[in-house]
Structure 1
């Protein structure tokens, strides 16, 4: 009787894993670099807190998530008997990580200093806020892991993608572009090179990961021009900081940041929700490419990695990347996620990641974020029905209001701002107060506006009424259109004077439009033409 030969053990690494490793590492380093650029360069945040407190825990979350996805890939390969299973790539989410830096951590640091805290104390308080924010988003994702598909059915794709596209275009596009052009020779050339290889799909004379090559070229150009005296004003070679070991041990520091984090719920909840939606989408993408991962498991790993990062000091949430089929085409299997997790996680603990980020110039890091903003906005239009395009464009406008709101404190003296927020000139509500109200909770506002208009386009007026009434309810409590310039939530009966008037005017506007659409729904509606 013949005995079947035992199956050959599956290899841990194949040649394609090296390509996948470089691509995934560069993605994570670029996001960490932008966080550092935004906090240290734009908000004058103490660099030591960023590199020795925020980064180790953030990197540890990447390690945990990638290790779990590696295990999932090997189990799927063993179960199916296939050798071509590709692990789900996991890393720091670009839109929400950048949003955390620009919309939560940076403004909170400025606010803490305005309360009288010295920069170091304000930085520690901001770090604890970041930890608490990650714990909140992790818990939300943990719960929604079991209900994610129901959430996506409640809102049209245009609302989910359009709201994040507004951030991408207005905040991820414009703000990093300004940093890019502060060193025009380096920044514009690097941006052009990225657009050439990533959008125009042009070829380079040197083979290798395009983003890595662009980073190397831009960095060499930056230091070459700077040392030759041809760089932008203020060029300086960064001081060498010896790597130091920082273990991201679990702590209860996030409890100190919870009270402040609650005021940022209008931002944090959509951030977490969008990651759940993204996790569902990438699971479908991987399934289409031949790797049938269970959606719930993909979402649970994402939630666990975010929670671990938050408890261990991280400030940016992890997510599975949508490029799993691209990594499969590179020939990557499960080794690339293992390598990436070990490099980012251990490198974060040893200070290697922080050292790399410190030496990457802002003018080189910012262009990749500009490209990410362009790509997210483009995908939003490509992945949604054409008839919903106008609805998405409308959803961009609250992001523009938030951009003005975060820039206003740097342009207007405090005493002038108070006057502008309360001055009534006979033409309606104070303009600056409207800007702040429109900007506060702008992600949820964008989602509801887009969902409302998309429902109108589809001839579902009663559904549009429902979205408007939800918006009115959220307005009353400050979850959107908060009359608190900091975006805080409140009980409606606590408001007084002009603040009360503004809140009820906005809420009343939603109710009035809902009533009008409800009346219009009583007439016979034409059947909307189907898209060819």
Structure 2
């Protein structure tokens, strides 16, 4: 057996793994910053000097812990081919935080009378509080992750996260790619060529790196020539930004504001626990037997520390550990990634890279990851449950449409509210889309779980799941009738809103009764024919 002393800290495979993992994290940070600054008009200094340092500090701590775990496992087994678990920012929930929580909250704070800076600080505190809530939830659930997996069907868990991936992480970045099509489509094509078709890159270079370089060259060569039209923006001057991720209790000030977003925040944490269980199992199959609880606890603590230090996006172990193992990565790639990303948030060079490289260059990797997550939802779920996976996508699609319709660029906020309230001839189409999209992650889980039970012939169980959905809709945890998607007590609403609540809650109850009667009739027929 090989001794741990023979295990090198850095191998050629670690270099490839490092490049891929760094670009993944950089792409997510770029989308987070671009969405907040470009779409919602968020002050850049708050993003780069307050949000980035704490967020990247979580990546640093998590990767250092996973590196140490890999070295320990190698020492225990006497093997020199142990691959560390990759950790980084979670793409679906990070994008969801930007588009569904932080951005809308910033606009609401401004509409409430706060100036831009004060609104940005309040939003940052809300983001910190959200991360602390997710960290606490993940810490608690790390001891009960197996129970969650047993009671929520895989179609519900994977379908809900695939819905996020498909519309928020795939479609919206695809739109950004096609805003500069000569650059973005070329980068996306190289990613698909290398990672989907699995074609070999020249000199064995990582496909992500090649796509990154090709798109950047096209952008900075064709742009100054005028071939990209208004899609080209000259690079901004390099700025020295230094900010330490110091612990702070400012997140306490954001707890109250975070409460209406709990229907999004809590599922975000839950999905990462289940995802952590799945990736640990995939690493075990690949030959590296990590303790599931240790993987989950590191993930939870990294998220908690990031929240205490100003972070707004949660960390997660990545599903691609077997892929990194196949490329020869060991423990050096996670060490390098943690240092480069963590120190980049402190010294500011990551924010400069984000400003230097447009989203059309970085977004192709997000589209690829979205494709991979969606495909996995079907591959890891028995074929008979495929309909349940598809059914779980609809609430996410509704949420994506709501994001666009509620953008003041397309529909003024006062007009949107008026349209939402107009339902004298039945519930208005806009209200249906908005209500369906609010709380969409939990809705997706309920819908998929309900259909899985029907497919399995467990009709009464399906009726019970529907009753849970109806109860949740009463309080706005799903199908919130508030445009913001907030939770509430139904008796505190005005008459018009209360009527909507009872319509949706009653719909679940009626269907549960119908299914129970059908189950009873079927049972009687079986007894009669016996």
TM-score, normalised to structure 1, is 0.95
**Aligned match for 2:309, one of 291, 309, 312:** 312
Report the counterpart of residue 455 of structure 2 in structure 1. Answer: 457
1:241 corresponds to which of 218, 228, 238: 238
2 CA distance for matches of 1:192 and 1:264?
37
Aligned to 2:416: 417
Partners of 1:91 and 1:319 within 8 A in 2: yes
How far apart, in 1, do the equivalents of 2:4 and 2:272 lie?
38
Relative to the length of structure 2, the TM-score reads 0.95
Q: Deviations over 1:42-90 (max 9, x none)?
A: 2222222111111111110000001111111111112222222111111
**Cα distance change on mapping 1:233 and 1:246 into 2, 3 Å:** same
Name the Cα RMSD after superposition.
Answer: 1.8
Deviation at 1:524, TM superposition (A): 4.3
More divergent stretch after superposition (376-385 vs 235-244):
235-244
Hey, what does 2:497 align to over in structure 1? Answer: 499
For residues 112-151 of structure 1, the aligned pairs below 5 Å read 112-151=109-148
The answer to whether the Cα contact below 8 Å between 2:157 and 2:445 also exists between their aligned partners in 1 is yes
Q: How many residues align?
A: 521
Distance in 2 (alpha carbons) for counterparts of 1:225 and 1:238? 14
Q: Tell me the alpha carbon deviations over residues 366-412 of structure 1, each in whole angstroms, 9 at most, x when there is no partner.
A: 22222222221111111111111112212111112112222223222
Could you list the runs of 5+ residues in structure 1 that have no partner in the other structure? 527-532
Corresponding position of 1:67:
64
- Greater shift, 291-300 or 410-419, is seen at 410-419
1:529 is matched with none
Residue from 421, 432, 435 that aligns with 2:433: 435
Residue 501 of structure 1 deviates from its aligned partner by: 0.7
Q: C-alpha separation between the residues in 2 aligned to 1:453 and 1:201?
A: 35
Answer yes or no: is 1:50 the counterpart of 2:35: no
The reply to whether residue 214 of structure 1 matches residue 214 of structure 2 is no
Structure 2: distance between partners of 1:525 and 1:60: 58
Query: More deviation in 202-211 or 149-158?
Result: 202-211
Distance, in Å, in 2 between the alignment partners of 1:9 and 1:364 is: 39
1:233 match: secondary structure = helix
1:340 to 327, 337, 341: 337
User: Could you tell which deviates more after superposition, 6-15 or 144-153?
Assistant: 6-15
Q: Secondary structure at the match of 2:229?
A: coil
- Does the 8 Å contact 2:9/2:331 carry over to 1? yes
Find 1:182's aligned residue among 166, 179, 182. Answer: 179
After TM superposition, list the pairs within 5 Å mapping 1:507-518 onto structure 2. 507-518=505-516
Task: Say whether 1:382 aligns with 2:379.
Answer: yes
What does residue 528 of structure 2 align with? none
Distance 1:179 1:424 in 2: 34
Distance 1:525 1:41, change over 3 A: farther
Instruction: Name the CA shift for 1:438/1:476 in 2 (closer, same or farther; >3 Å).
Output: same
1:272-421 matches, cutoff 5 A: 272-409=269-406, 410=408, 411-421=410-420
Q: What CA deviation, in whole Å up to 9, does each residue of 1:292-332 have, x standing for no partner?
A: 11101100000000000011011110001111111111221
